[in-house]
């Protein structure tokens, strides 16, 4: 493994796979070109493309990214790039959507990505053959598992529900599963074309109001109860579309309100599903914009219209009052 970095490498010290890998001496980004000229055989190159670790000049950084990406594309080695929010757009533009990118990863996320890139510690796959999956797909699955385990550990070590506002369920306070079952039909919502002519009119301010209301919940309830990065990003991109603005990858990661590496995973998946589209910034070759597809924008607009009709109903069928 070759590390190209100007930053400390303590994150590798506690990596369980460290002893099974032969490390070449870390190479400063400024000396990477010479090293790559003489490289013979290496399985994985890890580039720390963070603000404190990259070469000083934009041209030098961009050239290094393009060269590493081209060499990785020929199969010379696998490439894993660690960025922060300030350098994310530059790396994403140079390497494309299929690159193995981590943005400000936790140690566990970095370790999982290293294991996936080196195919280390894989258990026998008996039920699902994923041998043909891409590196990015394997890292996505491992990152999801790491995230799930992190939440479990957090729940075990930090009891958020001891506050009187959120008491635990007791015999006197039945849990949701103890309540009498019963089916309540959802409200009947008319098709989008039925109703007032202006019903499908949507403004950026209306979308931003929903986003502000979503963030407001975090002041009253634990924020990790409501992580929904796909919807947060959809709303942010819809507001930007209505404002005539475009959103960079790093800005969209911030809007997702989850760790950047998690946001990157969602951006990749939603792009693959055609919900998002990538557009190059004609004024800055180092940046890619993410935009909503026309179909997704239509769906969001229709959701807002349906929501208006639902809130206008004076007699909700659930019997909850207006």
Q: How far apart are CA 1 and CA 3, in angstroms?
A: 7
Q: Is the pLDDT reported for residue 119 higher than 50?
A: yes
Tens digits of residue pLDDT in 38-79: 877 788 888 888 876 555 677 788 888 888 988 888 888 889
Give the pLDDT band (50/70/90) at residue 205: very high
Task: List the domain boundaries for the chain.
Answer: 2-120+134-154, 189-312
Q: How far apart are CA 51 and CA 6, in angstroms?
A: 10
Fold of 189-312: Arc Repressor Mutant, subunit A (1.10.10)
Note whether 98 and 134 are within 8 A (CB).
yes
CATH node for 2-120+134-154:
3.40.50.2300
| 172 vs 147, higher pLDDT | 147
Q: How far apart are CA 263 and CA 108, in angstroms?
A: 16
Tens digits of residue pLDDT in 252-300: 999 999 999 999 999 999 999 999 999 988 887 667 899 999 999 999 9
Q: How far apart are CA 120 and CA 135, in angstroms?
A: 13
Tens digits of residue pLDDT in 175-204: 444 444 454 445 554 554 545 555 568 999
């Amino acid at each position: 493994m070759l590390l190209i970095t100007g930053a400390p490498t303590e994150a590798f010290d506690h990596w369980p796979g460290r002893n099974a890998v032969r490390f070449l001496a870390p190479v400063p980004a400024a000396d990477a070109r010479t090293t790559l000229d003489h490289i013979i055989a290496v399985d994985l190159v890890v580039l720390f493309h963070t603000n404190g670790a990259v070469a000083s000049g934009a041209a030098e950084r961009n050239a290094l990214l393009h060269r590493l990406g081209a060499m990785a594309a020929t199969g010379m080695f696998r490439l894993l790039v660690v960025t922060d929010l300030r350098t994310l757009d530059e790396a994403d533009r140079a390497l494309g959507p299929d690159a193995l990118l981590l943005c400000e990863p936790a140690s566990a996320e970095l370790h999982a990505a290293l294991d996936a890139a080196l195919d280390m510690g894989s258990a026998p796959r008996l039920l699902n053959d994923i041998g043909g999956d891409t590196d990015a797909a394997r890292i996505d699955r491992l990152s999801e598992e790491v995230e799930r385990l992190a939440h479990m550990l957090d729940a075990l070590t930090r009891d958020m529900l001891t506050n009187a506002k959120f008491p635990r369920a007791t015999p006197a306070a039945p849990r949701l599963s103890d309540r009498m079952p019963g089916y309540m039909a959802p409200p009947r919502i008319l098709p989008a074309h039925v109703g007032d002519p202006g019903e499908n009119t949507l403004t950026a301010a209306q979308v931003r109001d929903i986003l502000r209301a979503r963030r407001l919940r975090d002041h009253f309830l634990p924020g990790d109860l409501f992580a929904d990065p796909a919807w947060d990003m959809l709303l942010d991109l819809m507001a930007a579309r209505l404002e005539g603005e475009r959103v960079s990858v790093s800005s969209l990661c911030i809007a997702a309100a989850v760790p950047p590496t998690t946001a990157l995973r969602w951006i990749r998946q939603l792009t693959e599903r055609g919900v998002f589209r990538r557009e190059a910034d004609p004024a800055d070759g180092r940046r890619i914009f993410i935009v909503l597809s026309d179909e997704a924008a239509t769906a969001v607009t229709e959701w807002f219209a349906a929501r208006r009709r639902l809130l206008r109903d004076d007699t909700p069928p659930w019997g909850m009052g207006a």
